[in-house]
Chains A and B, each alone.
Chain A
Amino acid sequence: MKTNYKKNKLQILTFLILGAIPLFVDSYYLDNISYFMCWTFISLGLAVIWGMGGILSFGQTAFFGLAGYGFSVISINFLGVAGVSLWSILLALMLTGVFGLIVGYFLFYGGIYDVFIGIVTLAITLVLETFMQQTAGPEYTIGSARLNGFNGMQGMPTIGFENIPFGLVEGVTQYYFILILSIIILILLYKFKNSKMGLIFLASKEDRERVSSLGHNVQKVQLIAFTIASLLAGISGILYTNWGGYITPDSMGLVSAALPVVYVAASGKKDFFSVFIGCIFFVWLSQTLAINGKQFAIIVMGLILVIATRFFPDGIILMLKNKLVEKIKWLQS
């Protein structure tokens, strides 16, 4: 299917603006925007399984944490070896993908569906959090990396590309690294959505048995989509760990598991672009509110979820996007 660039004017314009941002803001704000963008991948993953396939999973946070910890352990162990960070990313993603595949296999081939997927995935997330909290002792050391329990892991090297100017993924490089990755992931997700497999997954949300009765292996497609979502959550986990230089068990807690659901529901779970923009906005909002107290921010996020569910079931950002395109004719042509 050929890409119709005219239909994507808003998306292209948005990414051009995002691309120009480093020219206008200082490094503090740029790092903050990078942080907001770190969360877009986990939300896009949720948009895949929930928005497309109707499967509400709280497991995204487990994959986020697993990738973050995996990246930390691998990169600390191979500190100083040329090109290590890229291998750390790939190995951490492989670990996350395999875990996603195993969890997804037991879910879909075990006949677990609907609300029970939410319960099981939330349980997995909380079990992982509880386990990581109890790893403070010196016996929880993998190679030269200590897991550190509640305090989390620190001291992992920054992702870097050898022999390239601005090769370290921090500051401006980090910003463009995440932005370019976002564009690539969005293009791939739209390709997935427009593929036959995407159509099967989309249709499975309405009627799994009917899709099977058309000769499609629904469980296999759901497993693939779930694994894609887990990998996207893993990308977020790695970028988050790289951004802050730390990862703690809190990143797999109840609040962390619920927030992506708010971002995606309030943005518009059926539209990847809205989820991308909405996630940046809502993470910013959540962080800004958190300055006045973390609990306060959580309450407001909960309120946003309730309002979005009741009054904007298709998502606030998607509604605004549609209104914008409706008002500005240039965007339609």
Chain B
Amino acid sequence: MATILETKSVTKKFGGFTAVDNVSLKVDSGEIRFVIGPNGAGKSTLFKLVIGFHSPNSGTILYKDKNVEKLKLHERINLGMGVKFQAPSVFSELTVLENLFLANNREHSLKINDLLNNFALEKEKNNLAGDLSHGKKQWLDIALSTISKPDLVFLDEPTAGLSVDETRITGEIVKNLNKQGITFIVVGHDMDFVKQTASKVSLLHLGKMFIEGSVNEVLSNKGVNDIYLGLS
């Protein structure tokens, strides 16, 4: 599999605090890569570095072997990326359909009706997005990030605030979209969601890459338990 995204020794400091410390990450096309870690591990900062919200102090970010550091957020997106931020950020004054229309940027995009059905938004398609429940907002947000059928989609905490059932359905949808050719990088720490969905896991701790591997390899590592229990 070709490498779709690579970070080489990326470091980001905020004043004296090093949020991301010399992190190298390599994601292949077709993966559902989870980046996990406890609060403050640097997951979301790494995510924001890759999409261009922050600039790294040092290191290189390659997307499809192209250095993207000088590109603005919308320029990176137009190379074939999709993004879903941590908090559901749908446009509350627009209808569900208008939200999807706004996000639909490419010719070979996913069918709106399929997305509406998959995310159970069919009945609410003409409602204002602001009137949706939290769970539906999360789903609409994921739909916005995937409708253009990007090659790589970043999902930051896609199941935050979702019920067990909603989390499971989200996992199925992500796997289904992955089969259609979308590579995912997911930031989160819902272990059931990780086990259900991930093809590979990277664990960050105190801004550094602690371990990478399959779900079983990472979760069976003793150090990982210690990190999550706050013992290391």
Contact = CB atoms under 8 A, between A and B. Distances in A.
Indicate, yes or no, whether A interacts with B.
yes
Interface of A: 196, 199-200, 202-203, 205-207, 209-218
A214 B77 contact: yes
Interface string B161-192: 00000000000000000000000000000000
A202 B93 contact: yes
Interface string B219-232: 00000000000000
Nearest to A214: B103
B89 A203 contact: no
Given A199-B102, A200-B102, A207-B89, A212 B94 contact: no
A213 B91 contact: no
Given A199-B94, A199-B101, A203-B94, A212 B89 contact: no
B93 A206 contact: yes
B107 to A, nearest CB: 13
B148 A203 contact: no
Nearest to A213: B83
A209 B73 contact: yes
B77 A215 contact: yes
- 6 closest cross-chain pairs (CB), A and B: A215-B77, A210-B89, A213-B83, A212-B73, A212-B74, A203-B91
Interface string B101-114: 11101000000000
Contact of B94 (A202, A209, A217): A202
Contacts of A213: 51, 73-74, 77, 83, 85, 145
B54 interface: no
Interface of B: 51, 53, 72-74, 77-78, 83, 85, 89, 91-94, 98, 101-103, 105, 144-145, 148
Given A199-B101, A200-B102, A203-B102, A216 B74 contact: yes
Given A213-B51, A215-B78, A215-B148, A199 B89 contact: no
Given A205-B93, A206-B91, A215-B105, 9 more contacts: A202-B93, A206-B92, A207-B91, A209-B73, A212-B77, A213-B145, A214-B103, A215-B148, A217-B74
From B72, B74, B92, B93, name the one whose CB has the most chain A CB atoms within 10 angstroms: B74
A202 B92 CA distance: 11
A217 B73 CA distance: 9
Contacts of A207: 89, 91
B126 to A, nearest CB: 15
B103 to A, nearest CB: 5
Nearest to B101: A199
Contacts of B103: 214
A2 B93 CA distance: 23
B116 to A, nearest CB: 18
Contacts of A199: 94, 98, 101-102
Contacts of A216: 74, 102, 105
From A196, A206, A214, name the one whose CB has the most chain B CB atoms within 10 angstroms: A214
A214 B105 contact: yes
Nearest to B84: A213
A205 B93 CA distance: 10
A212 B145 CA distance: 12
Contacts of B77: 212-215
From A202, A203, A212, A215, name the one whose CB has the most chain B CB atoms within 10 angstroms: A215
Contacts of B93: 202, 205-206
Nearest to A200: B102
